[in-house]
Structure 1
Amino acid sequence: MNRPLRRVAVCFLVMVLALMGRATWIQFFKADTYRSDPHNPRLAIDRYSHPLGNILVDGAPVTGSAKTGGTLAYKRTYTDGPLYAPITGFSSQIYGSTQLEGVYREVLDGSDSRLARPSDALLRKRPKAGDVSTTVDARVQKAGYAALKGKKGAAVALDPATGKVLGMVSTPSYDPGAFAGSAPADRAAWDKLEKDKNKPNINRAMRQSLAPGSPFKVVVGAAALTYAPGTYPDVDSRTDADSPYPLPGTKRSLPNEDPTAPCEDATLRVAFQYSCNNVFAKAANTLGQDKIQQMAEKFGFNDPKLDIPVRAAKSVYPTGMDKPSEAMSGIGQYNDMATPLQMAMVASAVANDGTLMKPMMVDELTDGSGTSIQSFQPTQYSKPVTPTVARSLQSAMRTVATSGTGTSVQIPGLTVGAKTGTAQNGVNNSGTPYAWFLSWAKNPDGKKVAVASIVQQSDAARAEVSGGSLAGPVAKAMMKAALQ
């Protein structure tokens, strides 16, 4: 072979070897990467080639599947989609999946290895999709949604004994079935949702942190009774708090919402009853931010990985504050931030005699035949306060419901505790204040429920915005549904 031919042969040999090496590298080392690439159309074709498994509420499916007649043979459908959207999230042929649809995607589409049976491999048969059973009580969910309708807000109801999420509502909501397919109408529905100024696709119950306002005083009260028993021996001892409270190092004083309320030197019980800012601002300065941070974190603040199993936005108690800011943070302002889920955890721990159970939204995962592949048991998150301190806070919160700012939430036959509040919104409180309501209830059998609700915006005039009048009815409706 002459030299030119030999060079061409060697060149072709090198090219063949390179091609073989590239193919081998892709098949053996990059196969999983390409297989799981979300832009791989085969993934969507495979996922929607058969009916999906369902998400269950009270044992009944709130999801389904419908034939499309297209390449993507089935698409997700939803029963009462806007009602359950904060629970289910969405599963879209174009836009992916969120919430429980996303967390348990492999169970719901049948690709989870736990669903496979020996016969499936022999018959080259895809395992039947599994189901996700939630902890949600349909009555509680419907009650909260109906009470919030027409308002921008959210609410969460927890079972204090187990941490189970009984209801999670966010309004305005959206219909996840409107863009579950891949037709032009689905794209149009998605575009409309994305452009909506009210952002209905945000789960305000657990994915949006806002200033908690006066309900945060429960955390400060817990810290005072726990870390300064000499100064705050019980909820009925005087606190030596000036009204209005002079902010340290400034010429400004912090007033109370009601200047006629008996907040001067008030007890913690009276301070809860009338939501006295002076008492809790002074307590924050007396205790110091490190102690309050310690207590807040026991309740779940500053936890960046709170998964229920959907990850919640972090609720924040700030650090590095000066004394005036420290005082303002003691009444739930400054840079305090909390989700309704977080505030429901505070109420839950108080109602459960000081033990906080980790919130959980799913009871069990089952295969296509209904056999359990994984069950979830209640787990303790922390013990923020002792039973003695918890019962003292329960007593003070009962006073709020019987003769304080939360009387509108009284429910015949139930013992109710509450803490109302509004939180400033915007620079110099230029926005409409947020109305908060924190509560728990117990029936004669000892069964309990804890609820946190917030109304961010409603038709009420600014002067009429209050936790008791706006957010209270939402909490009341959910507590009644849970216990009556």
Structure 2
Amino acid sequence: MTKQLRRLSVVVLLMFLSLFAATSVIQVALAGQLNENPENRRTLYDSYEVQRGTVYAGSTAIASSEPSDDVYSWIRTYPDAEMWAPVTGFINPVLRSSTGLEYAMNAALAGTGSQQFLTRLDQIVSGQPPRGSNVLLSLDPKLQKVAYDALDGLEGSVVAMEPDTGRILAMATSPSYDTNLLASHNSSAVKEADQKLQDDPLRPLTNRATRETEPPGSTFKLVVASAALSSGKYTPESTFDNPATFTLPGTDNVLHNFDRGTCGPGEKTTLETALRLSCNIPMAELALELGTDAIREQAQKFGFNSGFEIPLDVTASSYPEGFDAPQTALSGIGQTDVRATPLQMAMVAAGIANDGVVMNPRMVDRVVSPNLTVQDEPADTEFGRAVTPEVAETMTKMMTGNVKNGAASGARIDGVDVAGKTGTAEHNPGDPYTLWFTGFAPAEDPKVVVTVMVENGGGLGQNGTSNGIAAPIAKKVIEAVLSE
């Protein structure tokens, strides 16, 4: 009998130890993963029982919790909601959903993440009410306002970032929406507001900086020129045939430069001139010489075909495999199936500005507990080297010429060398263009990279130009940074 009891005791002990180990793994090791699982509704419900942490941009609270007089205890409020909507997103118990940083940083803000374990334990022991952690962002409120105001109702976005760290300083999109409407606990009102926004053809709920991909147009010529210089077979003085029309290989399709003329005078033109004047034909010729594999490899070094979390989820920009000759030629001018987010084109310019090294973009500086303990402080990390320092220097010189006396003159700033590139992306015949600018300043010691993307031709159809609309927006943002 004693032997049987001993065996039973061993079995019970093993079962207890197995249960203890399993619960420990679930509650500690897997806590963060389970809390961040969008299918875990319990986490969403629990997040309304605590005072959710505040999201700060600088010293400005852009998302915070206030007591509510209903079953959810707290309601989320968003000052300057439309300006910050693409960053904060919203969280709502009625819709059972969250977006933006409210979703991406939910575990920290709700205080349910693995890094908040000791804080939760301290709150339980001390009898303090549960509170989430605060999230401090890299974004600058003054710069965000300049970027948002500069869009002035246009359909588009602006991204500003530090090239040497990857810290995002501004991220504005337009049109935007009032996140307070979707944070309301009034069931009928919030559902009506949500449906209206969902049905809006201008897609105000879309974060155009991170989720919208468009043909990058001539801004992609920075990638093609980088590939050429990196090959060692080309210099800024390398020459190309200079016709006014170019028939794509194996087709009857004719390619023109933007002004329908040649790329400067003469039967030949140079790589430097082609980039400065943003000529299509020599860049298409160059793309054919390089080949689609070399261009795709260079694009991937800048971040194409890779997804990012900043911690917002960023749609991967794409340079697909398998382009034929005419597609390769068109890819040289950022057309065909080449697609990019504004954040991606900011990474291209940032890689050039940072001596050829592309940094991973990020927008969170610190996560701080209610007792001011720093729980997380993301480090600056490298995505990889895109080009050598020598190639980056050459590209910077050519981009500076593009602003000084080329196609991007709308970004000129007196007393400051700005390096930049415009782009005008075409769609179906007759459709308005998408207008681009990406660049950085000061060229000799870059402090900020700015990318602007404006859809629908800036409201001017095919009469809207990147130099007339996108470049001046970037100029305002750059001036705001340099004036601080």
- Scaled by the length of structure 1, the TM-score of the pair is 0.87
8 Å Cα contact 1:241/1:282 also seen in 2? no
Q: Could you tell me how far 1:292 is from its partner in structure 2?
A: 0.4
> Residues 327 and 367 of structure 1: is their aligned pair in 2 closer, same or farther, counting only changes over 3 Å?
same
Deviation at 1:78, TM superposition (A): 0.4
Instruction: Report the Cα distance in structure 2 between the residues aligned to 1:415 and 1:321, rounded to whole angstroms.
Output: 37
Q: Secondary structure at the match of 2:319?
A: coil
Inter-CA distance 369–414: structure 2 relative to 1 (3 Å threshold): farther
Deviates more, 1:416-425 or 1:334-343: 416-425
Of 112, 122, 125, which aligns to 1:122? 125
Does residue 186 of structure 2 align to residue 195 of structure 1? no
1:209 pairs, out of 210, 213, 217, with: 213
Identity over aligned pairs, percent: 35
- Tell whether 2:275 aligns with 1:266: no
Report the CA distance between 1:124 and its aligned residue: 5.6
The residue correspondences of 1:1-40 to structure 2 (distance < 5 A) are none
Where do 1:307-346 residues align within 5 Å?
Answer: 307-346=309-348
Out of 157, 160, 181, the position equivalent to 1:178 is 181
Contact preservation (8 Å) 1:443, 1:483: no
CA distance in 2, matches of 1:358, 1:154: 20
2:102 counterpart residue number: 101
Corresponding letter in the other structure for 2:435: A
1: CA distance, partners of 2:81 / 2:482: 25
TM-score (norm 2): 0.87
The verdict on how the C-alpha distance between 1:225 and 1:41 changes in structure 2, with shifts beyond 3 A counting, is: closer
Alpha-carbon distance, 1:469 to partner? 0.8
The one-letter code matched in structure 2 to 1:187 is K
Report the CA distance between 1:235 and its aligned residue: 1.0
Give the CA RMSD over aligned residues. 2.4
Tell me the residue number matched to 2:362: 360
Task: Provide the C-alpha distance between the structure 1 equivalents of 2:446 and 2:426, rounded to a whole number of angstroms.
Answer: 34
Structure 2 residue aligned with 1:410? 412
1:247 aligns with 2:248: yes
Deviation (angstroms), 1:237: 3.1
- Tell me, yes or no, if the aligned pair for 2:421 and 2:438 is still in contact at 8 Å: yes
Out of 292, 296, 299, the position equivalent to 2:302 is 299
1: CA distance, partners of 2:414 / 2:246: 38
Deviation at 1:440, TM superposition (A): 1.0
Change (3 A) 1:181 1:40: farther
For residues 59-98 of structure 1, the aligned pairs below 5 Å read 59-95=59-95, 96-98=97-99
CA offsets 1:430-473 (integer angstroms, 9 cap, x no match): 321111111111178x3421111111026643342111111112
Structure 1: where are the runs of 5+ without partners?
A: 1-23
Q: Secondary structure at the match of 2:239?
A: coil
SS in structure 1 of the partner of residue 51 of structure 2: coil
Task: State the secondary structure of the residue aligned to 1:266.
Answer: strand
Amino acid at match of 1:435: L
> Number of residues paired by the alignment?
450
Give the letter aligned to residue 481 of structure 2. Answer: A
- Corresponding residue for 1:462? 461
Q: How does 1:231-242 map to 2 (within 5 A)?
A: 232=234, 234-242=235-243
Report Cα offsets for 1:354-374 as digits up to 9, x if no partner: 111111111111101221001
Letter in 2 for 1:292: I
Does structure 1 retain, via aligned residues, the 8 Å contact 2:161–2:449? Answer: yes
Deviation at 1:99, TM superposition (A): 1.7
Q: How far is 1:325 from its partner?
A: 1.0
Partner Cα distance (1:374, 1:180) in 2:
27
Question: In the alignment, what sits opposite 1:223?
Answer: 227
List per-residue Cα deviations over 1:12-57 (Å, max 9, x = no partner): xxxxxxxxxxxx9xx989x999x97978886555322232111110
